[in-house]
Amino acid sequence: MRGQLLKPLLTLMITVLLFVSFLTSFIWYTQENNNVQPKRSSPPKKSAPQSSASCKDCRETINKVLELYSKAWTKEETSFQKFRLQLNTKCHGFEKATITQKNTPVGTKLVYDGERKRALQVNPELFSTFYKGHPFSNKTWHTCAVVGNGGILANSSCGKMIDSADFVIRCNLPPLSNGYEEHVGIKTDLVTANPSILLEKFGALMGRRRRFVESLRSYGHSLLLLPAFSFGRNTPVSLRAFYTLEDFESPIRPIFFNPGYLQSLALFWRSQGLRAVRLSTGIIMTSLALELCDNVQLYGFWPFDVHPHSFQTLTNHYYDDRKTKTKFHAMPDEFNHLLRLHNLGVLKLHLGDCKAEGK
Ligand code: CDP
């Protein structure tokens, strides 16, 4: 009797066990798949160039900018002279943009433009690193090209046009070889270097320095402009760059930004309605060019990630996709000011393909 009762009980228990195990496997299977699938279908970090169809919103933003961009550009001499005079009266870039032995004698108190509480008194040793004479040879140039690093320069075929300028200004030691020449040119008369590049790429110049000197070969005999007195931490590394170039007898001529000039330029742009914690290198060099040159042409200025004509996705720089620190710079706002100057005929802003422009 007991045996007769046990048999169906055992069968029931085995059936329940089998059912529970099937249910667990089923739940586990569906859960796993739910975890995996979204990962598989998540978009790649860097999206592929977008076609015009998939970029409706950016098209609208870009179209708004392009509506303001007058293509048939002519220089307006009166507007140009007016703007140059304003810059010259408020900032004196021609005489004061860089530190020279003439404008900064021993004993001068240099106030750091990025750290207004910090100052440094010029002693004879520091004075000996200052540029002798006038770095811009006391004359104005007929045409200057200011080359920003925007991704818009990639495949632009602007190299020849840039190199045809009498004076070419570049920002932050950008690469010029390995196929970039055709689009960005090679002529360089002045190149800036942010000390962060010296820290990151060349170990703050604390070790072997030959690689740094060799990396500057592509800039020929140009001036290397360093913001040595903008922040306290910039000074030692900028001086090390100076001594390195001197010791290796490099043809590059290091020179320092005058913090007084940078401060007056920041106030000037603030008075024009620009609100940025720090001006970008590009707008600083454009402002200086407007004092030094009769015709100022800008290339590589486009702080948007979509090309204005092809609507392809752009990298931030023509050589990498390192992003701009939006905490400090107000690039799109700066761009609006440059666009305004373009439309006033004060400077010429090149957007896109230079070959197509030349037709
Ligand atoms: O050091 P900073 O961020 O000022 O400059 P950069 O990224 O080395 O680029 C040099 C300059 O090109 C900038 O200061 C901008 O004026 C300009 N630029 C631009 O207009 N659009 C971009 N997408 C990147 C740079």
CA distance 313 to 300: 15
| Residues in contact with 170: Cβ distance below 8 Å, sequence separation at least 6, in sequence order | 147, 188, 190, 191, 192, 219
Quick check: CB of 79 below 6 Å from ligand 1?
no
Give tens-digit pLDDT for 36-55: 333 333 333 333 333 333 45
Given the residues 183, 307, 317, 329, select the one marked as catalytic: 329
Average pLDDT (73-90) is 97
Query: Is the CB of residue 74 less than 8 Å from the CB of residue 348?
Result: no
Query: Active-site residue 329, yes or no?
Result: yes
Q: What pLDDT, on the 0 to 100 scale, is given for residue 29?
A: 37
| Closest atom, ligand 1, to C-alpha of 286 | 16
Of 307, 285, 71, 72, residue with least CA distance to 190: 285
**CA nearest ligand 1 atom 21, residue:** 303
**CA nearest ligand 1 atom 19, residue:** 301
Query: Is the CB of residue 242 less than 8 Å from the CB of residue 129?
Result: yes
Give tens-digit pLDDT for 286-310: 999 999 999 999 999 999 989 998 8
Query: Is the CB of residue 183 less than 8 Å from the CB of residue 155?
Result: yes
Quick check: CB of 192 below 6 Å from ligand 1?
no
Domain 74-352 grouped into CATH 3.90.1480.20: yes
Give tens-digit pLDDT for 188-222: 999 999 999 999 999 999 999 999 999 999 999 99
